[in-house]
């Protein structure tokens, strides 16, 4: 069987089943945003890695090298954010075509260094290899107090589902980057969705506030798309979910840009991926306090978009007219 | 300027100069075998990453997938060994062509899991991406007590230079793999050098014993080649070195295989790279005790091959006939 037939998540599940049981020091191995490891002296160490490959995760000539560097770190920062953690150290593994300009690498590192400085991260190592296809593989470490760790696996029926910021902008930005002719769009709107696609802002502070509040039950970052990442929470928590179209936070610029490229804005919001927003579940009674806390400390809105339901009910999306349709994961699959 | 003109080590040095000063928690950042990080509660955390790219680090069709997996972890284990550390957790980032067979990935993970089990490592995370060129990027964490850490930067004039095991086998093994016609060679000899090339054995236990003995002054693993890695010790310790041809440990199988492919055995021993032996310096008075200790506890020979000299003297290689020639690094450069 080819990998393309099994798909990314099928392959991850297959690898996971073959892994031997981990040490006693492993609080959480494969199956969450980051690994969670007990430090010998107490405290939890977080570790994650995510690669950006040319032509897959970024388009040479469309993304500037400093943007590629920023994003390569940002996507990892978002995983640490999803655990409520504080990022600390990064290792950077570069695969570089031998005929690439050294100045490209300089600019890539300018982006990496700027993003690292912004979030208090030190780049402490890495390696270089020649490769036909440029790639940037970042490993990021972080830490979290055991009592504040938020996993994917603790959502409960009747919890509400909330999301930080807004959805779908990055996916529409990617549509614009790939469009042969620039659609008719106000420059500010164009800029907003392009920025979401090229230099996403990881919600590190928001993640820490949510985790430390003790008000939430589960958290994940949206990299594969809202529907797919909600699916991960449901799978790991053994629950189901109901999402409402009406409250979904979609910025005006995303709506305008989606329409300009001929796309229903709900589609990128549900399935676009690469939002790097946080998806949070919390007991219904805690929602108001959590929304007020995040808003007041970061200015970032947290919006209720649905609720967790028992596992025997279907995962459902409820449109504005009340029509219920199945909520299928249709996010990014690298091997499709 | 192109990367190929600057070369791997020029580019590393250029990146290193552009990095901002690290946190106070960084004991050692870029510039040793692994990063060394202070744990919040005491103790040192080690972190390293090393990628294997198809066509660069392994040849598809020549290396079996389980061998590729084993080696991808082994080269990282060797870096932890060079710090005297204990490996703990690994993250595995795979770049995979979509038309690759799933069974290839199964076998690759069989190799990774076997090597992990052998050295007490848990694989706790990673990620998958599609890529045109297969790559396996492993990040490995480890730990070491602060009092036992052995850096590259503490070699002193009049220290002796020692090496574990023997040299040049992996490079000659690679010659055999690349040869269009198999040279005339006894199967056992062929097997020995192929095994060195395909499934090197990291010297984890030896590294721990050497570091904990308190008898050594500096340590590095030989990945770039004896001359190049000695150069790294000299650069970081601000010393020079003299190496003698006569005592260089070269296995009979390596000599025979080198001759069979028309190569002076000294050449792979000095410059071949990928030996994954440990290169150790120690005060002359400690050498005998250290050699006896490593031999008795692991069975691995430790051989004196030269000495550290003041930095104003030339790095020199002294041939069997007493002729002195400059010892130039001529190891692997990924962008040449």
Model confidence at A133, in pLDDT bands (50, 70, 90)?
very high
Query: Contact at 8 Å (CB) between B39 and B78?
Result: no
- DSSP-H helix ranges across chain A: 3-6, 8-18, 65-82, 102-118, 169-178, 187-198, 204-213, 226-237, 252-260, 266-271, 287-298
d(CA B172, CA B182): 12
Q: Give this complex's ipTM.
A: 0.93
In a domain, A335, yes or no: no
Q: What is the pLDDT along chain B (336 residues), one digit of tens a residue?
A: 999 999 888 999 999 999 998 888 999 998 888 999 998 667 899 999 999 999 999 999 999 999 999 999 999 999 999 999 999 999 999 999 999 999 999 999 999 999 999 999 999 999 999 999 999 999 999 999 999 999 999 999 999 999 999 999 999 999 999 998 888 899 999 999 999 999 999 999 999 999 999 999 999 999 999 999 999 999 999 999 999 999 999 999 999 999 999 999 999 999 999 999 999 999 999 999 999 999 999 999 999 999 999 999 999 999 989 999 999 887 556 676
In a domain, B334, yes or no: no
Say whether both B319 and B218 belong to one domain: yes
Say whether both B138 and B188 belong to one domain: no
Instruction: Map residue B64 onto helix, strand or coil.
Output: coil
B16–A contact, CB cutoff 8 A: no
B107–A contact, CB cutoff 8 A: no
pLDDT of B180: 85
d(CA B323, CA A276): 63
Sort out which chain A residues have CB atoms less than 8 A from B45's CB and list them. 45, 141
Q: Which of A97, A120, A124 sits opposite B29 (nearest CB)?
A: A124
pLDDT of B152: 94
Mutate: best of A41, A51, A112, partner B, most B CBs <10 A:
A51
- Chain A's closest residue to B128, CA to CA, is A8
Say whether both B83 and B25 belong to one domain: yes
Q: Tokens 């947290």 — which residue?
A: A302
In a domain, B155, yes or no: no
Q: Average of pLDDT values for A209-236?
A: 97
Say whether both B120 and B209 belong to one domain: no
Of the residues B148, B170, B201, the one at which a domain ends: B148
Please provide the DSSP assignment of B107-152 as one string.
HHHHHHHHHHHHTT-EEEEEEEEE-SS-EEEEEEEEEE-GGG---S
% of chain A exceeding 70 in pLDDT = 98
Sort out which chain A residues have CB atoms less than 8 A from B48's CB and list them. 91, 125
Query: Contact at 8 Å (CB) between B20 and B5?
Result: no
pLDDT of B24: 86
Strand ranges of the sheet holding B278-282, from the earlier edge strand across to the other edge: B218-221, B278-282, B160-164, B302-309, B240-244, B316-318, B324-326
Whether the per-residue pLDDT at A164 is higher than 60: the answer is yes
Residues A74-108 pLDDT 10s: 999 999 999 999 999 999 999 999 999 999 999 99
Q: What is the CATH number of the domain that holds A102?
A: 3.30.1330.10
Token digits of residue B100:
């690759």
Query: Contact at 8 Å (CB) between A96 and A134?
Result: yes
Say whether both B132 and B185 belong to one domain: no
Nearest to residue A307, comparing CAs of A326, A272, A281? A281
- 3-state helix/strand/coil string of B215-253: CCCEEEECCCCHHHHHHHHHHHHCCEEEEECCCCCCCHH
- Distance (Å) from the C-alpha of residue B36 to the closest C-alpha of chain A? 8
**Helix B169-178 vs helix B187-198: crossing angle, to nearest 10:** 100
Say whether both A119 and A237 belong to one domain: no
Say whether both A294 and A178 belong to one domain: yes
d(CA B136, CA B224): 19
Token digits of residue B217:
């002054």
Say whether both A28 and A144 belong to one domain: yes
pLDDT of A9: 85
- Distance (Å) from the C-alpha of residue A54 to the closest C-alpha of chain B? 9
| DSSP label of B286 | G
B87–A contact, CB cutoff 8 A: no
Length of chain A: 336
Sort out which chain B residues have CB atoms less than 8 A from A42's CB and list them. 41
d(CA A311, CA B40): 40
In a domain, B154, yes or no: no
A22–B contact, CB cutoff 8 A: yes
In a domain, B233, yes or no: yes
C-alpha B150 chain-centroid distance: 15
Residues A19-77 pLDDT 10s: 998 888 999 998 888 999 998 667 899 999 999 999 999 999 999 999 999 999 999 99
Radius of gyration of chain B (CA): 20
Residues A225-275 pLDDT 10s: 999 999 999 999 999 999 999 999 999 999 999 999 999 999 999 999 999
* Backbone phi, psi, residue A117, to 5°: -65, -40
Q: Do A51 and B137 touch (CB under 8 A)?
A: yes
pLDDT of A331: 57
Q: Tokens 């030339």 — which residue?
A: B314
pLDDT of A333: 61
Query: Contact at 8 Å (CB) between B137 and A51?
Result: yes
B17–A contact, CB cutoff 8 A: no
Q: What is the CATH number of the domain that holds B167?
A: 3.90.650.10
Q: Do B35 and A105 touch (CB under 8 A)?
A: no
Nearest to residue B26, comparing CAs of B38, B12, B42? B38
Q: Which of B11, B41, B127 sits opposite A49 (nearest CB)?
A: B127
A129–B contact, CB cutoff 8 A: yes
In a domain, A336, yes or no: no
Say whether both B76 and B217 belong to one domain: no
pLDDT of A42: 77
Return contacts of B24-32, CB within 8 angstroms, 24+ apart: B25/A88, B25/A89, B25/A122, B26/A89, B26/A122, B26/A124, B27/B146, B27/B149, B28/B151, B29/A122, B29/A123, B29/A124, B29/A125, B30/A123, B30/A124, B30/A125, B30/A126, B31/B152, B31/B236, B32/B83, B32/B151, B32/B152, B32/B153, B32/B236
Of the residues B148, B180, B201, the one at which a domain ends: B148
Mutate: best of A37, A125, A126, partner B, most B CBs <10 A:
A125
- DSSP-H helix ranges across chain B: 3-6, 8-18, 65-81, 102-118, 169-178, 187-198, 204-213, 226-237, 252-260, 266-271, 287-298
Of the residues A148, A182, A202, the one at which a domain ends: A148
Number of domains in chain B: 2
Q: Do B139 and A47 touch (CB under 8 A)?
A: yes
B178–A contact, CB cutoff 8 A: no
Say whether both A8 and A46 belong to one domain: yes
Burial class (CB in 10 A: 0-12, 13-18, 19+), B59: middle
Query: Contact at 8 Å (CB) between B186 and B256?
Result: yes
- Structural domain including A232 reads 160-326
d(CA B327, CA B313): 12
Say whether both B16 and B131 belong to one domain: yes
A27–B contact, CB cutoff 8 A: no
Say whether both B257 and B170 belong to one domain: yes
Q: What is the dihedral of CA A264, A268, A270, A276, to 10 degrees?
A: -160
Instruction: Map residue A305 onto helix, strand or coil.
Output: strand
At a CB cut-off of 8 Å and minimum separation 6, what does A322 contact?
none
Q: Do B50 and A103 touch (CB under 8 A)?
A: no
In a domain, B335, yes or no: no
Token digits of residue B115:
């090597």
C-alpha B159 chain-centroid distance: 21
Q: Which of A42, A137, A141 sits opposite B41 (nearest CB)?
A: A42
B334–A contact, CB cutoff 8 A: yes
In a domain, B16, yes or no: yes
d(CA B97, CA B76): 24
Q: How many CB pairs under 8 A join A and B?
A: 260
């Amino acid at each position: 069987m080819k990998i393309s037939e099994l798909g990314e998540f099928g392959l991850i599940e297959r690898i996971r089943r073959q892994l031997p049981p981990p040490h006693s020091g492993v609080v959480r191995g494969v199956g969450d945003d980051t690994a969670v490891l007990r430090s010998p002296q107490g405290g939890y160490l977080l570790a994650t890695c995510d690669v950006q490959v040319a032509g897959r995760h970024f388009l040479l000539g469309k993304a500037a090298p400093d943007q590629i560097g920023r994003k390569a770190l940002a996507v990892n920062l978002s995983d640490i954010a999803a655990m409520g953690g504080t990022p600390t150290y990064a290792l950077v593994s570069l695969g570089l075509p031998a005929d690439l300009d050294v100045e490209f690498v300089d600019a890539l590192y300018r982006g990496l260094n700027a993003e690292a400085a912004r979030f208090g991260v030190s780049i402490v190592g890495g390696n270089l290899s020649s490769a036909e296809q440029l790639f940037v593989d970042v490993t990021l470490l972080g830490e979290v107090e055991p009592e504040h760790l938020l996993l994917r696996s603790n959502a409960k029926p009747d919890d509400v589902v909330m999301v930080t910021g807004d959805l779908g902008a990055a996916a529409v930005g990617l549509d614009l980057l790939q469009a042969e002719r620039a659609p008719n769009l106000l420059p500010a709107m164009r800029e907003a969705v392009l920025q979401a696609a090229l230099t996403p802002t990881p919600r590190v502070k928001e993640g820490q506030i949510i985790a430390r509040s003790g008000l939430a039950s589960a958290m994940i970052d949206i990299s594969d798309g809202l529907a797919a990442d909600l699916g991960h929470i449901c799978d790991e928590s053994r629950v189901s979910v109901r999402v409402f179209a009406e409250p979904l936070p979609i910025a005006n610029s995303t709506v305008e840009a989606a329409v300009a490229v001929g796309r229903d804005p709900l589609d990128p919001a549900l399935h676009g991926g690469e939002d790097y927003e946080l998806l949070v579940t919390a007991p219904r009674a805690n929602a108001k306090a959590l929304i007020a806390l995040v808003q007041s400390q970061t200015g970032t809105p947290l919006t209720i978009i649905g609720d967790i339901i028992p596992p025997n009910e279907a995962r459902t999306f409820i449109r504005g007219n009340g029509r219920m349709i199945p909520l299928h994961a249709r996010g990014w699959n690298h091997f499709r």
